[in-house]
Amino acid sequence: MNSGRSTEGNTIQKKGTLLIEDPILNKGTAFTEQERIENGLLGLLPPHVDTLDEQVDRAYEAFCDFHDNIDKHIFLRQLQDENETLFYRLLLEHITEMMPIVYTPVVGLACQRFSHIYRRPRGIFISYPERDSMDAIFENVQRDVDVIVVTDGERILGLGDQGVGGMGIPIGKLSLYTLCGGVDPARTLPIVLDLGTNNQERLDDPRYMGWRENRIKGAEYDAFIGQFVAAVKKRFPNVLLQWEDFASVDAERILDQYRNDLCTFNDDIQGTAAVTTGTILAAIAASGGDLKDQQIVMLGAGSAGVGICLQLKQAMLLAGMSEPEARSRFYVIDKDGLLHSGRTDLDELHQQLAQSPENLNGWDCDVSGAISFADVVRNSKPGVLIGATGQTGAFSEDIIREMAKHVERPVIFPLSNPTSRAEATPADLLKWTDGKAVIATGSPFDPVEFNGVTHTIAQCNNSYIFPAMGLGILASRARRVTDSMFMAAASALKETSPALKDPTASLLPPLTNIREVGRHIAKAVAAAAIEAGVADSVTPDEINQRIEQTMWKPEY
């Protein structure tokens, strides 16, 4: 039974159709005969009483009747709005097939078509004209909340500004909190901050459901975010607040401003960094290398790319390297070329990763001007190449073949999503490196056969990290989120890599093991929170007990 949701005793206040229409309490055809009598359901349901397994079989049959992924997404979202327990049991039993449908890559199309496929409200919408009514809006949420995921819809995946359609991301993320980390869905809240949109296609769409104005920016934007944080702290003082898909220019600033005010993190910056760091550490170890020997090229200098590099640099520092030495190992490239200290257009964040001129001595290119991606790869001879650009095909054959000349097992991570935005396909990367590349991607790809060997492609997906972070934070009752907690998560993820035992195996464990992986990472996160002094001081055994008590299971 789900705690606090039994239809026996006094735990349910709703009856009849109100009970059936509550997705948290609804059992549908699984209500027993006695429950139907006690809760005013006689005649409102078909007479046969189903088991949950029978309901799952029926729902899966209906799912398979749809052929287009967007239709499958709509079906699953509708099921979630009708019966959360059935929704999550179905997903758990078909997780490899269905996670790409409820989240990346299909959620990107769902965000683009949000106003056309909208069925039923979920979460809360806070538009700019309603900014002075935030307290009243939050009072309309008549339940306790442990986790909030919020977006302003400006940078949805690699698709850009989707306005109010960005709500698909918090809904999808919170589904993964429950699916992968066992966070109680009744205690989660998706939020979209509707500050307008600069996407003319959305503004011209007669079905668009958001505030039809161009985006609010500058001081007015910052004031709105401040109002939002204050309202969250007032209504939910102990909540975990995750920022999602904000423009890079805003994401870093918001995180820096509020990370010490409440328990909060930015998944694009910190979650992406942790999952990529953990996967790269596994890739290097599986290839027989060492992190301290790597030259790392990052194509893309947005919040995700910078966050990955800073966390990898921190891993190098923990391995005993000096700060200047660790910094010298990174070659970060934006639209204007390599970040180096001779450039005058770098902000404070990018200056942390700028190459010094002396490290470019002897390069066979003009280092006084823009230094191209191809020049960087040819001269730095990287062992690790990461893409976070959102630009299809940014990893060209010439560049990959150049990289493969200098390293035995090139580690290549095209991380952009959805799938259509990947910097390269795994099939091409294996062809261009004669099957030697060690690959993880941001979106799901099928296994690739090359020269008789089947390569399973790991999806370097944040779903390995942020649900486990949430579980560890809730179990330890952490009051803040520290960088050490994300480093602990990355290290724990590395430990679960099948490739450590079999170099031909996937770099990441299968999604069918995601809850076990989540438990392992959550324990490491909780221990790091306790060590940092931001959580309850409890023993490892007590943490294990709390984790099990915290994890919600999709059972009636």
* Widest CA span in the chain: 83
In the chain, the domains with their CATH numbers are 1-50 (1.20.1370.30), 101-261 (3.40.50.10380), 464-550 (no CATH)
Contacts of 24-31 with CB under 8 Å at 24 or more apart are 24/84, 24/185, 24/186, 26/82, 26/83, 26/84, 27/83, 27/85, 27/556, 28/55, 28/82, 28/83, 28/86, 29/55, 30/55, 30/556, 31/7
Question: Using CA atoms, how far apart are residues 436 and 421, in angstroms rounded to an integer?
Answer: 23
Residue 382: Cβ-neighbour burial (10 angstroms; 0-12, 13-18, 19+): buried
Mean pLDDT, range 79-108, rounded to an integer: 96
DSSP label at 332?
A: E
Question: Using CA atoms, how far apart are residues 139 and 415, in angstroms rounded to an integer?
Answer: 39
The answer, yes or no, to whether residue 9 has pLDDT greater than 80, is no
C-alpha Rg value of the chain to the nearest Å: 24
Look at the chain and count its residues. Answer: 556
Active-site choice (27, 72, 173, 313): 173
260 is in an annotated binding site: no
Q: 424-472 pLDDT, tens per residue?
A: 999 999 999 999 999 999 988 999 999 999 999 999 989 999 999 999 9
At residue 68, the pLDDT reads 98
Q: 191-205 pLDDT, tens per residue?
A: 999 999 999 999 999
Question: Using CA atoms, how far apart are residues 52 and 259, in angstroms rounded to an integer?
Answer: 41
461 is in an annotated binding site: yes
Q: 390-415 pLDDT, tens per residue?
A: 899 999 999 999 999 999 999 999 99
Q: How far is CA 157 from the centre of its chain?
A: 10
Q: What tokens does 3 get?
A: 């705690």
Please state whether beta strands 124-127 and 188-194 pair in parallel, antiparallel, or not at all (unpaired): parallel
Q: Active-site residue 208, yes or no?
A: no
pTM, entire model: 0.92
The residues, ordered by sequence, that sit 6+ positions from 5 with a Cβ below 8 Å of its Cβ are 11, 12, 24, 25, 186
Residue with the two structure tokens 């010490």: 260
At residue 12, the pLDDT reads 57
Q: 158-167 pLDDT, tens per residue?
A: 899 999 999 9
DSSP label at 177?
A: H
Active-site choice (27, 72, 88, 103): 103
What percent of the chain has pLDDT above 70?
Answer: 98
DSSP label at 355?
A: B
144 is in an annotated binding site: no
Q: Active-site residue 103, yes or no?
A: yes
536 is in an annotated binding site: no
At residue 444, the pLDDT reads 87
Which one has a higher pLDDT value, 227 or 303? 227
The answer, yes or no, to whether residue 285 has pLDDT greater than 70, is yes
10 is in an annotated binding site: no
